[in-house]
Structures are given as C-alpha cells and as structure tokens.
Amino acid sequence: MAFVSEEISFVMIPLMAPGHTIPMVDMAKLLASRGVTVTILLTTLHASRFKAVIDRAVSSGLPIRLRRLHFPAEEAGLPAGCESFDTLPSYTLATNFFAAINKLRDQAEKILEEITPRPRCIICDRNIHWTAQTAEKFKIPRIVFDGMSCFSQMSIHNLYILQADNRIPETTPFLIPDIPDRIEVTRAQLPGAFNPGTLDMDDVREKIKASEGGAYGYIINSFEELEHKYVDEFRKVKGGINVWCVGPLSLCNEDSVDDKAQRGNSTASIDQENCLKWLDSWQPGSVVYACLGSLARTTLAQFVELALGLEASNRPFILVVKAAGEKQLQVERWISSNQFEERVQKRSFLIRGWAPQVLILSHPSIGGFLTHCGWNSTLEGITAGVPLITWPLFAEQFLNEKFVVNVVGTGVSVGSESVMHMGEEDRSERKVGRENVRSAIERVMEEGKEGNRREVARKVGEMAKKAVQAGGSSHLNITLLIQQIIKITKK
C-alpha cells in the first residue's frame, strides 16, 4: 500500500547472477508497492528473464522502470552473450566476469543523469564496488544489499579477525569466537577469503571490502525474529550503521501463482500445471524437493550419489537435474543407460533446467527440502515451513548450514565436509555417499522422535509470514528505510 506523498525515486543495481538479481527484483516490487518509483538496471539477458514478472507488476500500477545495460562480455574475454554468472562456461572466468562488471559504470552513470526525478538513493549489490564512487559523484546515499544473513555476516567478520591474528587452524575444528551460539567449523568449510582455491580472487574481494566503508546502510534479506541476536551484533560491529531486515523478500509473490512460477526466469523448464498436478497427487508433507542451486556444476559421481540416495529413501521426490555443458551430457547418459527415470517414474518428477522453486516449496505436499544452502534457498525453505536436508557446496553455504542445523534447529546435514571451489569441481575428491543422503532424508521425513523439527519449521515459517505483514518487523523496516531516505535527502 503506497504511502509516499511525493514522487521519490530509487535506483537499483543488482549483480548479474540469479541468486543476487532475484531478491533485488522482489525488493523493487516491494518498494514500488509503497509508492517509490524504482528504476532497476539489468543486462539484456536478465531483462528477458524477468520481463514477465516486471511487466505484470507495471500493469498492476507499480512504478517500476527497467533500463537495460549492455554487458561487455567480449571486451572482457568472455563468450558473446555471457551476461550472467550462471552462463559462464567455466568459473575459471570469474575474474573476466568482474572485469566486465567494472566496465558498466559509465553506462550506469549516464542513466542516473537521465532519471527524473533525481534519484534519492542507490541500492546496489555489495559486489559492484564502483557504485561507491558513483554515489559519491552524485551526492546520494548508497545502500548495500548483501545476499547473506546477519549470522553469516557476523561469522565472517569474526573470521577476518582470527585470520589477521593467524589463528585459523589448518585442519582441526575450531569455534567461531564472539557470536551468540556455539558454532564449530573447519578451514575446509570456509569461504574463499579464508580457504582459497586455485582461482585468485583476492583483488576483487579487497576492492569490494574497501568499498563498503562509505555505505549509508545495509539491506538484509532476513527477518529480525529469525536472527535478532545477530542483527543486533551486526549493527554494533558496523558502528550503529543502518541495518534493515526486510525479508523474506520472496513473500512479495505470495498472492500470484504466476509470479511464483516465473520468479527468476520468465520461461520455466516445466509446465507449472503439470508440476502442481503431480504434487496434488501426494499426501501433505510426503515429498522431498532436491535442488542444489543455480550455480552448482555437479560432477557425474556426485549426481549419482544424490540420485541413488533419493531412490533408496523410498520417498516421492522432485529432483532438479542441473549440471553444465559436458557434465550435463554425462548425467543424461547415466540416467538413460541405468534406466533411472524408468525405475523411479511412479514416485518422481525430474526437472531439467530452471525450477519454479517458491511455487514448489509452497505446496503442502512438500515435506523436506534438500538444498545447497545458498541463502535465498535456505530462507525460502524456512519461509515455506519445511525442514531442510543440507548439502553446502561453496561460498558461505557451510555457515548457512550451521545456522539452520545448530541455531534454528530445522536442518539435518548430509555430512559434506569441505567446500567445492568454483572451477574445481572435477578436483573434488570428497563426495557425499548415497547412504548419507538416504539417512538424512529419513531423519527429516520421519515423524516420532524427529517430529519436533517439523513443528519448529512450521512455527518459524509462520513467523516469516507475520514479519512482512502490516505491523510486522520487515514491513516496519521498509517504512523506516523510505522515511529515512526522504529525511536525509530533503535538501
């Protein structure tokens, strides 16, 4: 419901990766529903992916404007049309991808000069470091959107302190210090800043970290009731800077089946009616949904263990079959030669490509979510009120696993022990066995002694929905954010 009495303009600049752009588009809809005119800058590829959702929002009267950026892929040594992180033929090209992002600044600033009324603030992904200089040039506040939870933010903050003192053990487990809960990790489970792979991203990380200093505040896709202790701690370590928890952002699609189905991609890989019809055929809480995220480049060996673990569980399941390039062909050959699809066809639904995840998770037949623990997926599972089967792969995903297993109490780990660095999937020696997968599924799906986990998940899901409703914490934080920007930019 709009409350802004004058036209207030915000600009949003998301990172070109599904897990970063999706919540930013949700946020654009949320701000526009409060009367803010939002201009969102997207590359041609992302504009096509989100076209249906944005067009529907504009048709409903929301003041959202889409401006396209030409992504200079070839200039940065990338294949033509490679405009999103998930389209990289190899993650060894990540540095080229960030070099292309750095070339977008002039285009973005030209658009900022053209926008009327003059933008009151920039909301940008923290990974686009040049927005700090752009905000300074235009003398408008810059608000950083970070795709992580406050729990992960605080964990990483304290890990940097440990690293500076050379106190992160090479192999032995250790406790992350000075956080409210007892969280034990190993170096092998940490993000690349503390556990580097062969790809040198130090220069990119340092520029991103340095650019955060001048930010006016942070927007977090979370809700205060979920991690209030960590929200408070994050505010303290940032010197009292503004921190607005406005999630779960996915709930802005709650009233539209089409928005749920097309969130992240206007063209889903399946017919949503067929998917819903299949889900309708199962008892409430009986189906396992398994998806390892938009950026996973699963090896054949690891896919086989996942598939056979799901088969051995004797539960109905949805499996998103997603690898990349030659790996996808290997996976398909294994499925065909082993007649896997035929063996499980009576109780399985296989999706190849993009899956309408929020639509699936919101169906009452879903009883467990096997996830890579990216924060978007983790929060979507929490919001749906289903327990999680956790299989972290890279980045801060092991920290997200610790959060849902040890803090929230709604997750069961499959036993993954180390990060699989992007671009090094084929070098990964450790793999999770099918019995680990089957056992974790069984613990989540059975009632009895593990039934309390399901009840906790249900209650946390209810809390998430209340947070975004009128009077809820996230609803209030959106109000406070807009009011604060209006107040400081009146001059």
Does residue 396 contact residue 374 with C-beta atoms inside 8 Å?
no
Does residue 91 contact residue 84 with C-beta atoms inside 8 Å?
no
pLDDT digits (tens, 9 = 90+) for 298-308: 888 889 999 99
Joined tokens for residue 124: 């940008």
Intervals of CATH 3.40.50.2000 along the chain: 8-252+468-488, 267-464
| Side-chain half-sphere CA neighbours of 186 within 13 A | 10
Beta strands in 210-353 (DSSP E): 217-220, 242-245, 287-291, 317-321, 348-352
Assigned fold of 267-464: Rossmann fold (3.40.50)
pLDDT at residue number 269: 58
pTM to 2 decimal places? 0.95
pLDDT at residue number 328: 83
Q: Please state, in angstroms and rounded to a whole number, the distance separating the CA atoms of residues 445 and 282.
A: 14
Identity of the residue numbered 373: C
Q: Please state, in angstroms and rounded to a whole number, the distance separating the CA atoms of residues 264 and 364.
A: 22
pLDDT at residue number 144: 97
pLDDT at residue number 253: 85
Instruction: Find where tokens 């007649």 sit.
Output: 339
| Residue 57 main-chain phi, psi, to 5 deg | -65, -45
Instruction: Find where tokens 């399941």 sit.
Output: 317
pLDDT at residue number 298: 80
Which of left, alpha, beta for 373 (phi over 0: left; psi -120 to 50: alpha)? left
In CATH, the architecture of 8-252+468-488 is 3-Layer(aba) Sandwich (3.40)
Ranges of residues in the chain with a pLDDT under 70 are 1-5, 264, 266-269, 324-325, 423-430, 447-451, 491
Q: Three-state DSSP class for 6? A: coil
Q: Collect contacts of 136-141 with beta carbons under 8 A, ≥24 apart.
A: 136/214, 137/109, 138/109, 138/112, 140/489, 141/216, 141/217, 141/485, 141/488, 141/489
